[in-house]
Structure 1
Amino acid sequence: MQYRVSNRSGDKLSVLGYGCMRFTKKGSGIDQEKAEQELYEAFQNGVNYYDTAYIYPGSEVCLGKFLKKYDIRDKVYIATKLPHYLLKKSEDFEKYFAEELERLQTDHIDYYLMHMLNDANTWMRLRGMGIIDFINEKKQSGQIRNIGFSFHGGTIAFKELLDAYDWDFCQIQFNYMDEHAQAGIEGLRYAASKDIPVVIMEPLRGGRLANLPEGARKEFEKVDPSRSSVDWGLRWIWNHPEVTVVLSGMNDISQVRQNCVTAETATSCSLSQAELKAYEGALKQLRKSIKVGCTGCGYCQPCPKGVDIPTNFAIYNSSYTDGYFNAFREYVMCTTLRNVQSNASLCVKCGKCEQHCPQHLNIRQELVNVARRFENPIYKIGIPIAKKVMKY
């Protein structure tokens, strides 16, 4: 495992961090045993940065149990997030923070983020509620070691936020599809110019860059057919010296092992001209096939009408990249033939989802497109019959 030193804290952080949002589900919760196996495999391979959040269902509790079971709390760095959008009064800072400490079974947070802090106006609102006094108190007591924010928005807003406070670190979405989107390369370099460490989320765009269409895969295979799409995706990010940690939401032990191998050899400024041209070629292919830029983060959920928005978009995209028939079958099975349906046409266009979408997608219109693609006459005739046969 390679490590990069935080410019602010001096912490030696593993270049690969564990994103704890996508643990495997079991029943109504997380498969604790499976998650612990994957987390421990990462720890044994040198991963020392673990990122979770208050609103990731069961995640903080799962991570806390793991760290206590293996008695490794003091050997790793925990990052979690304050859900500022849930706060109504200044007392709520302490309330949510105390609950997070309890969930994580710890007495301090190494890297504490304002979750989805997307503009300076929101930060000013928090300042008006007394967030600065809260931060100063917690840092003085040692309960918070570093303060930062996670961001989904444009470059200008990102720079304004960086200038609004003396942050210890920040977290942005960055990958070879988003080089000039969200905070982008310009934002990344601006943070580096202020000596602010940058943690990267969505390095594979919610898995989209891990499962490339054939045309994009061939662009990479021209250069090196032995490397996986995941390897290519991660190496592009680590090629940037301004990056400190790259988070990966690993939920299979093979993913952990593969990513740790890549993290041992991927260095900054190491990609050749031939490799960089391969990324350009792959991007051209990707832009031909991807219809909706959804990362599957789930911030749009829950839908008041029960629409499973990320699943609908993932299947919609796959119908163009991997073939219509398999996607249609998946759409029927995953959204419609359920006790509680979650298909696209249930949308009533209330717009609640769009208020929370980090990618600023036109979700309502895209759901119309999904329904138009899949809910054809065959679907409308066949579903009632299928439900009757299956006794729904």
Structure 2
Amino acid sequence: MQYRTVPKNGDELSALGFGAMRLPTRFGRVDEARAIRQIRSAIDSGVNYLDTAYPYHNGESEKILGKTLRDGYRERVKIADKLPHWAVKAREDMDRILDLQLRRLETDCIDYYLLQSLDAKSWQKLIKLDVFAFLEAARDAGKIGNIGFSFHGDRKTFREIVDAYDWTFCQIQYNFLDEENQAGREGLEYAAAKNIAVMIMEPLRGGMLAAGLPKDVQAIYDASGIARSPAEWALRWIWDHPEVTVVLSGMNDEAHIAENIRTCEDALPGSLSDAEHAVVDAAAASYKSRIRVPCTGCAYCMPCPFGVNIPQCFHFYNQYYMAGNRMLTRGFYIAQVIGFDDHPANAAFCRNCGRCVAACPQGIAIPEELQKVSRDLDGWQTKLMKPLVKMMMTRQQKEE
């Protein structure tokens, strides 16, 4: 196993982390016995960073990790867990959620604790609720170790958050299609320059970079003459970055786990040749040819006076048409753009004021494009799906 160092505490973490968001299921529920075998097998192979969150599998992910880490496994790993901002209405909610997470995980301390899925709106909400007082009190009490955040916003907000606190680590979405989306390469390098460890989520874009590839993308890989799966190409590209500390993979298949572990062993920073980079660049170009709106996520168009999260709307609209699972993309659009509070940020709220057009360095006709986003992502399918997504995000588990 390859290990990389967290700059601010010296922890040696496996460059491959086990993401517990997509555990194996059977008859609609997590296959607990299989999940435990898989995670323990990964730990036995050297994986020592496990990532979960309050809503994953409706709370079952945390519980299963707790069971997995019995019998001496807890001492061999670092646990990462997250505070879900959408479930927090007051300071006491933070303490209640953390205590529930500790019980589910059967541990006294969560090693790496994140503010989950921050963007400009959720960041300001947590600041107003004095989240740092909560985090530091929890750390002083020994309930959490290292403080970080995960991010799904624009690069301007990312810099603001990075500069606001002495974070140990952060977690960003990054892959060869997302160099300019959300935090992007700029954010990766900015955080690393401040000695913040960077954990990577969605390295395979929810699986779209690993399976069900467009024929022309598969042809590019086949023509390379290198016997390598699409997943391996995508993961090696990320591990090639020296700024990356851990790459999280939501693994639920034994063969995929073995392949990822094998790949990680020699996917060192700077190990990709120029020719291999050219292959990935060609695959990325093929995917990007399907992009509907050339938005770079710079957020110069923000804030929208009517509350629309313009970069996020375009991000999910592009993803909807590039490839992959459209239902999954719609679900993320609901969770991250529409939301479940009184301040939705979806495309339907555009009022064609034109302020964003003047600010856009790409010259995008933003109101016209937002109408297209709303047509495809704000319709009846989304309205029917929203209650299900909300249930999955906020459903409380009865604790003994």
TM range (shorter): 0.7 to 0.9
Distance 1:92 1:284 in 2: 45
- Per-residue deviation, residues 322-367 of structure 1 (Å, max 9, x unmatched): 9xxxx9xxx9xxx9xxxxxx9x9xx9xx97873249x988764225
Amino acid in the other structure paired with 2:231 = V
In structure 2, the partner of 1:62 is 64
- Per-residue deviation, residues 107-160 of structure 1 (Å, max 9, x unmatched): 0000000011112x6434323323222222222222211011110111111111
Asked if structure 2 preserves the Cα contact closer than 8 Å seen for 1:41 and 1:257, the reply is no
Amino acid in the other structure paired with 1:279 = V
Asked if structure 2 preserves the Cα contact closer than 8 Å seen for 1:235 and 1:262, the reply is yes
Amino acid in the other structure paired with 1:365 = R
In structure 1, the partner of 2:337 is 354
Amino acid in the other structure paired with 2:338 = Q
Distance 1:360 1:178 in 2: 21
The reply on whether 1:189 has 2:199 as its aligned counterpart is: no
Alpha carbons of structure 1 residues 210 and 109: separation in structure 2 relative to 1, 3 Å:
same
Q: Which has the larger radius of gyration?
A: 1
Structure 2 runs not aligned, ≥5 long? 294-316, 348-369, 382-400
Distance 1:221 1:200 in 2: 27
Percent of paired sites with the same residue: 43
The reply on whether 1:230 has 2:231 as its aligned counterpart is: yes
In structure 2, the partner of 1:93 is 94
TM-superposed deviation, 1:38 = 1.2
Distance 2:193 2:116 in 1: 23
Amino acid in the other structure paired with 2:136 = N
Structure 1 runs not aligned, ≥5 long? 293-312, 336-341, 372-392
Amino acid in the other structure paired with 1:39 = I
Alpha carbons of structure 1 residues 173 and 351: separation in structure 2 relative to 1, 3 Å:
closer
- Per-residue deviation, residues 177-231 of structure 1 (Å, max 9, x unmatched): 1111110000000001110000000000000110222211222233343111111
Asked if structure 2 preserves the Cα contact closer than 8 Å seen for 1:116 and 1:152, the reply is yes
The reply on whether 1:214 has 2:215 as its aligned counterpart is: yes
In structure 2, the partner of 1:152 is 152
Distance 2:257 2:147 in 1: 27
Amino acid in the other structure paired with 2:219 = K
Q: CA RMSD in A?
A: 3.2
Which of 341, 361, 365 does residue 375 from structure 2 map onto? 365
In structure 2, the partner of 1:111 is 112
TM-superposed deviation, 1:251 = 0.7
Secondary structure class of the residue paired with 1:100? helix
Distance 1:252 1:73 in 2: 22
Secondary structure class of the residue paired with 1:94? helix
TM-superposed deviation, 1:287 = 2.7
Q: How many residues align?
A: 326
Alpha carbons of structure 1 residues 360 and 288: separation in structure 2 relative to 1, 3 Å:
farther
Asked if structure 2 preserves the Cα contact closer than 8 Å seen for 1:37 and 1:253, the reply is no
Alpha carbons of structure 1 residues 214 and 4: separation in structure 2 relative to 1, 3 Å:
same
Secondary structure class of the residue paired with 2:50? strand
TM-superposed deviation, 1:370 = 11
In structure 1, the partner of 2:388 is none
TM-score, normalization: structure 1?
0.76
Alpha carbons of structure 1 residues 360 and 242: separation in structure 2 relative to 1, 3 Å:
farther
In structure 2, the partner of 1:262 is 263
Q: Which runs of 4 or more aligned residues in structure 1 lie more than 3 Å from their structure 2 counterparts after TM superposition? A: 121-125, 288-292, 350-354, 359-364, 367-371
In structure 1, the partner of 2:250 is 249
In structure 1, the partner of 2:395 is none
Secondary structure class of the residue paired with 1:227? coil
Asked if structure 2 preserves the Cα contact closer than 8 Å seen for 1:19 and 1:248, the reply is yes
Asked if structure 2 preserves the Cα contact closer than 8 Å seen for 1:172 and 1:183, the reply is yes
Secondary structure class of the residue paired with 2:82? strand
